[in-house]
Structure 1
Amino acid sequence: MNKLYLEPHQARTREPSAYENLLGDAIERAFGSGVVELSGLVAALNASGPLPQSKATTWTEELLAAELHRLSLEA
């Protein structure tokens, strides 16, 4: 029987940037500490970074959602 599976990087067209790696690591740390809500994720990112790449100095729920959407389109 042939089982379907997903290779984690099969759709990736390039290596992640340093910013993407930092953001991903920070999100993983937040999830690992039990954060499950967007507001908690935003608070964790504001506490530990990285800063948004936009001109904003802090994360908001709207900014994080937009950034994750933008990054998903670039993958």
Structure 2
Amino acid sequence: MERTMTDRILQPHQARTRTPTTYEDLLGDAIERAYAAGVHDLTGLVEALNRDGITSPSGQLWTEAIYREEIAALGR
């Protein structure tokens, strides 16, 4: 079977334009821990971040609105 450029799978790390910051690494690790613990909803994720002591960029506790805004900003 002949492969073409469209057959390739994009790995998330290939799309990076820069190295993640320490904050981004810590946030990602906390999100992964929550998923591994069986948390699969936004309310539970926000609770897990607050329980783990991971504060939002503004230093406030996470809310669903703050989480949505931050993840959208990180995705740009």
TM-score (norm 1): 0.89
Q: Alignment partner for residue 36 of structure 2, among 29, 32, 39?
A: 32
- Tell me the equivalent position of 2:17: 13
Amino acid at match of 2:42: L
Q: CA deviation at 1:20?
A: 0.2
Deviation at 1:55, TM superposition (A): 4.5
Q: How many residues are matched? A: 72
How do 1:1-75 and structure 2 match up within 5 A? 1-2=2-3, 3-56=7-60, 58-73=61-76
Structure-2-length-normalised TM-score: 0.88
State how far apart, in whole Å, the 1-side matches of 2:35 and 2:44 are: 9
Deviations 1:16-55 (A, max 9, x none): 0000000000000000000010000000000003111114
Identity of aligned residues (%): 50
> What RMSD, in angstroms, separates the aligned Cα atoms of the two structures?
1.1
Looking at CA atoms only, which structure, 1 or 2, has the larger radius of gyration? 2
**Structure 1 runs of 4+ with >6 Å offset:** none
